[in-house]
Amino acid sequence: MDKKVSIIGGGLAGCEAAYQIAKRGIKVDLYEMKPEKFSPAHSNKDLAEIVCSNSFKSNLHTNACGLLKEELRLLDSLLIKIADETAVPAGQALAVDREEFSKKVTKNIEENPNITIIRKEVGKNKEISLMDLAQKGIVIIATGPLSSDSLSEEIQELTGENDLHFYDAAAPIVYKDSINMNIAFFGNRYEQERKKDEDVDEWKKKRHNQEKSYINLPMNKEEYEKFWNELVNAQVVELHEFEKREIFEGCMPVEVMAKRGIDTLRYGPLKPMGFTDPRTGYRPYALVQLRQDNKDATIYNIVGFQTNLKYGEQKRVFRMIPGLENAEFAKYGVMHRNTFINSTKLLDNHYRMLKNNNMYFAGQITGVEGYVESISSGLVAGINASMQILNKDLISFSEYTMIGALSKYISTPNDKFQPMNANYGILPELEGKKISDKKLKYEKMSDRALNYIIITKC
C-alpha cells in the first residue's frame, strides 16, 4: 500500500488537505478535473476557485465564522493565511480578491515538492476511477457540491443510493434561547391537544410533561393572513440556470406553496390539527412547528420551511411568526444544487468512512456548508490522513471548538440531516450561570474554543 495520499478535487477543501499532508512530509497526488472539464459554476483554471461571493464572512471574535477562522489560523491553515494576504477592504468581514486568492493557492500547491497535481477527472469509466485510487491507499474525496457525474456514480456505489443527495433544501434554524416561550409551547401533534371533556387542570398538568423535541407556535387568523401576505410578496434569490432545472422536482419552497392559495399552508406545514393553544384553550388557526436540531436542544429548525427567500427577507418575514419576533438565525434556509453524502451514517468525526478506514471525505460534500467550513473539514481530514500514515493516533478536535463541533455535527446520527454552517448553537452551552448578554456569551464560548485549540495543537 502506498504511503501516499490521493486527493480528488483541488478546491478549497482539497487544497487545504493537500497542504496539511505535505507539510507532514507525506506525498500527495492531487487530482483536479479543470481545465479538462468545468462544473456549471467553475470557470477559472486555477485551484481553490471561489465560485460566488468573495466574502469569507465576519472576522469578529463574537461571530461563529470569525471563531472558526481564528481556530484555523492557530492550526496553520494555508487557505486562511492566503485569504488574509489577499484581503480587500470589507469592514469587519474577511473578503478576498478572488483571482489573486486562487492564483496564490495554486502557486503554493504547485511549488510544494510533496504535491503532484494531476489534471484529470476521476470517475467511473474514466482513465482513473475512484476504485483504482482506493486500491493504492488512502483517498480523500473533496469534489464539492458540484462533483462530476462520473464520480458521483462511484460515490453512490460506495455509500448506497439513499445516502448521496444532489440538492439542498434546508429550512432555517433558530437558536432556542431566542424563541419567545410565553407564546411557544412544547409537545407533539395529538399528544398535546386537550381531548373533548378532558379536565382543564388535568390537561395543564399533562402539558408540563410534554416532549421537548417540538416547539409549537400558534397563530390566529389575523396573524396568519398578515404573515401569508408578506411571504408571497417577499424577494427570492435568483437561481443559476443549471439549478432551475433540477431543484424543485423533489421539494417545494414554502413561498411557492403559499402562492397556491391563502389556505394551502394551513393544510400543509402550518396545519393546526391536534393542538390546543394553552393561552386560549382552543385549536389555533394555524401553527408553525420547530423541530429540535441538535442533541443539546439549543437549535431548532422550522419544519417545512425550505425556502429560497433572500436572507434579509427570511429574517423579516419569519420574525412575523408569533414567538419568533426576536428570533436569531443559526442558519438561513437554502435551496440549491449541492452534492452531499449522509455523513451522519457514513463518517466519523475525522471525516473518515466508518466502513472503510482508507477513505476520507472533505469539504461541502460532507455536509458542512460554506467556504470556511469546507476549509476546516479539509484541514481535519488532511491532518488525520497524515496521522494514519504516520501510525499515530487520530486527532479528535474538542466539541468545544467550532472545528470539532462541525465534525461532531456531521458525524452524529440524525435522520433529518441537512448541511450545516458554523454557528454557536452547535457548541455545548457554557457551564454555570446563564448569560443573557449574547455578545458576552459568544465571547466566552470563543475564548473557551481557542483555549482548546491551543491544547490540541498538532
Q: How far is the CB of 435 from ligand FAD (least distance, A)?
A: 29
Backbone angles phi, psi at 426, to 5 degrees: -90, -5
Strand 27-31, strand 115-118: pairing? parallel
Nearest residue (CB) to ligand FAD, 284 versus 419: 419
CB neighbours of residue 393 within 10 Å: 9
Residue whose CB is less far from ligand FAD, 292 or 366: 366
CB of 210 to ligand FAD, least distance (A): 38
Rounded CA separation 57/69 (Å): 9
Strands 27-31 and 4-8: parallel
Nearest residue (CB) to ligand FAD, 39 versus 298: 39
- Closer CB to ligand FAD, 246 or 325, in the complex: 246
Q: Which residue, 31 or 300, is less far from ligand FAD as judged by CB?
A: 31
In one-letter notation, the amino acid at residue 96 is: V
Looking at the Cβ atoms of 97 and 296, the one nearer to ligand FAD is 97
Per the structure block, which three cell numbers stand in for 199?
Answer: 379536565
**Three cell numbers, residue 145:** 457540491
| 173 phi-psi bin (left φ>0, alpha ψ -120 to 50, beta other) | beta
Q: Measured from the CB of residue 142, what is the shortest distance to ligand FAD in angstroms? A: 5
Shortest CB 9 distance to ligand FAD, Å: 3
In whole angstroms, the minimum distance from the beta carbon of 135 to ligand FAD comes to 17
Q: Which residues bind ligand FAD (CB under 6 A)?
A: 8-14, 31-34, 39, 41-42, 51-53, 121-123, 142-148, 151, 240, 363-365, 370-371, 374
In the three-class reduction of DSSP (H, G, I as helix; E, B as strand; rest coil), residue 17 is classed as helix
What is the smallest separation between the CB atom of 26 and ligand FAD, expressed in angstroms? 20
Smallest distance from ligand FAD to CB 42, Å: 5
| Residue (53 or 326) nearer to ligand FAD, CB | 53
Q: Which residue is nearest to ligand FAD (CB)?
A: 11
**Three-class secondary structure of residue 51 per DSSP:** coil
Strand pairing partners for 391? none
Report the alpha-carbon distance of residue 105 to residue 108 in Å, rounded: 5
Q: At closest approach, how far in Å is the CB of 424 from ligand FAD?
A: 18
Residue with smaller CB distance to ligand FAD, 18 or 327: 18
Kindly state the smallest distance separating residue 334's Cβ from ligand FAD, in Å.
Answer: 9
Helices 371-389 + 12-22 axis angle, to 10: 30
217 pairs with which residues across the strands? 288
Cβ proximity to ligand FAD: between 54 and 398 the closer is 54
CB nearer ligand FAD, residue 219 or residue 362: 362
Please state, in angstroms and as integers, the Cα–Cα distance from residue 427 to each residue in 294, 358, 458, following that order.
10, 29, 22
In the Cβ-directed half-sphere of 368, how many Cα atoms lie within 13 Å? Answer: 35
> Smallest gap, in angstroms, from Cβ of residue 147 to ligand FAD?
5
| 239/418 Cα distance (integer angstroms) | 19
Query: Packing angle between helix 371-389 and helix 64-74, nearest 10 degrees?
Result: 30
CB 374 within 8 A of CB 364: yes
Backbone region of residue 204 per phi and psi (left: phi > 0; alpha: psi in -120 to 50; beta: other values) = alpha
Q: Minimal distance in Å, beta carbon 389 to ligand FAD?
A: 22
- The cell numbers describing 150, all together, are 462520473
DSSP letters along 294-356, please? Answer: STTS-EEEETT----B-HHHHHHHHTTSTT-TTPPEEE--EEEEEEEE-HHHHB-TTSBBSS-
Residue 194 or residue 350: which is nearer to ligand FAD going by CB? 350
CA distance 315 to 78: 34
- The answer to whether residues 164 and 341 touch, using CB atoms and an 8 Å cutoff, is yes
